Structure 1
Amino acid sequence: MQLNAGCELSFFAETPTPLILMLRPRSGAGQWIIREEYQITPAVNVTEFTDMYGNLCQRVVAPEGPFSIHFSATVQTADLIDTAPGAPYTPVEELPDDVLHYTLPSRYCQSDQLGELATQITENVASGYDQAEAIRKWIHETITYQYGTSNASTSAVDTAASRIGVCRDFTHLGISLCRALNIPARMVVGYLYQLNPMDLHAWFEAYVDGRWFTFDATQAKPLGNRITVAYGRDAADVAFTTQFGQMTLNNMNVWVDAVHVEPAENEKKANEAPTLSNSAGSPN
C-alpha cells in the first residue's frame, strides 16, 4: 500500500537552540520512499549525517522565537509483517558483531533486572521466535494502554511494576524481556497506518534465526503498512527531536493516509520498485 505520512512540529525557542532531528525514513526492507518534502520555518542551515544505527539525522540551530518543522513523504509499504512461529533461537556466539550490543541492558531497558519475569512468561515455550511472541502477547494482555501514565524517565522496570503505559513503555518492556533471555532486541519508531489515536509510534524487533522480526505489543495481531524512521537500543537513541537549550514544543500533528492508486498505475509502480519485499521485517 502507498501511504502519505508526515508530521508538523511547532516550537518556541527562548534562545538560539541547537537541535538534532530524526524525521526522514530510508528505503529498505518493507518500504520504498517515493517522495518526500522537508520544510523548516524560518529557513536555517541544515547538515545531515547517518548515526551508528543507520538513521538519517539533521543538525540545525533554531533561532530565538517561533520555529516549525514540516515533513511529509509518500511511501510504498509492505501489507504484511513476517512471522515465523518455531523459528529457532540464535546462539550468542553466532550473532553478528553489530547485533551483540542489542543483548545488553540500556538506559530504559534494564534487562538484567527482569530475568525472573521473562522466564515466567516464557515457561514451556520453545526458544527463539516463540519466546518473543509470548512476551509480545503477555504485554498486550497484561499491560494497560493509557496516555498520561508515564513520562520521559519511565523505564521497563517501572512499567513491569505499574502494568500501565503507552507504546514507548510497551516497547521498552518487550525489549528488556527479550534481552533477559539473550535474544537481541531493538526499538523501532515510525508511523503505523490506522493507528488510533494517530501519533508517532514505537514497536520492537527481535533477532532470531539469523534475522530481525517485528513485534508490536500494542496491537492484537500483526499489522503491516508501517513506515520505519529510526532504530536504536531504546528511546534515548531514537528521539525525533533532541534539543540543547530552552525550547518548548507547542503543537504536534501526525498523519498517515492511504494513497488511492489506479490498478494499472499500481502495477507500473510495483515494477519500478522490484526490490521491495512483500512483508515488513528487516533481514539486516
Structure 2
Amino acid sequence: MINLDLIIGAHMPIGRGFSKVPVESVEIGGNTFQIFPHNPRQWVPKLPEKEDVKEYFKMVEKYELNLDTFLCHAGYLINIASPKTDVWEKSVELLLIEMNICAELGIKYLNIHPGSHLGNGEDVGTENIVKALNIVMEKEKTVYIALENVTKKGGNIGYNYYQMKKIIDSVKYPERIALTFDTCHGFDAGYDITTKEGVEKLLKEISETVGIERLKFIHLNDTKGELGSNKDRHENIGKGFIGREGLKNFLSFKEFSSLPLLLETPGDNPEHAQDIAIVKEIFESIKS
C-alpha cells in the first residue's frame, strides 16, 4: 500500500512566456512541470526576458510549487555523442547556454538524451559525451545533468544502465549526474514494466550499476510500440501497450511513484489534463 503525495505535471509550452507555465500547470491538475529552455529546434536560443523571469518566480511562489521538482529538457538538435566536430561543438555550446537558462530560472536539472554515435561505435560516442559533460559542468557549476534512457536505434547510447555507468564513471563530476526514466523508452527498449518481475529486474539493474539514488524524475508515457520495438512513439495514458494496468504495476513501486512524474504524451494542455486525471485515478487505486 502506498501513502504518498503525488508529484505530477506535464511538458508545458513556453511560447506564452515562462511566467505562464506555473499557472497553466496548476490549471491542468499538476504541481510541477517540464519545459524546454528555448525553442528546441533552433541552434541560437532566445534568452529569457527579465520581466518574464521575475513574474515566473512570483507565480512559482503564489502556487507554492517546489523548484527542485521542475525539469528542463534539452533541445532536439543537441548531440554530444556526435563524431561530427561541427555538430559536437555546437551541441556543447548550446548545452552550456541551456544550463545557464536553467540557472536563471532556478531549475536544478537539465534533462538530456546521451546522444547518438551515428555508427562510429559506442566507445567513440561515450568518449564524446564525457568530454562534453566535463566542459559544461566545469563552466556552469550549479545545474545537474539528468541523463534520460533511450531506445536502441540510430546509434543511440543510453538504452541500458550499463552504458549510463560508463558515462558516470568517466566524468569529472559524477555527483552532478542524475537520471530520468522514461516509461515509453524503457518499454520499447525491452524493460517490461507491466509485470512485478520486470520492474524488480529494472530496479536491480539500476541499483547494481549507477545507484537508485541517482533516479530523480520519471517521464510517464504510454507507448504505441510493443515491448522491445524500439520505436519511441509516445501514447496517451492507458491507450498504449503499457496500458492502465501496466502503469498501475509500475507506480506500485515507491521508488518510481515518489518521484516527480512528468507526462510527455500527445496533445496540449487539455489532453495533458485528461492524462493527469487518469494517473491520479490509477494512483488512488493503488493507495486504496
- TM class, shorter-chain normalised? under 0.3
Q: Which has the higher contact order (CA 8 A, sep 6+)?
A: 1
Higher strand share: 1
Question: Which structure has the larger Rg?
Answer: 1
Higher helix share: 2
TM-score by length of 2: 0.24
TM-score by length of 1: 0.25
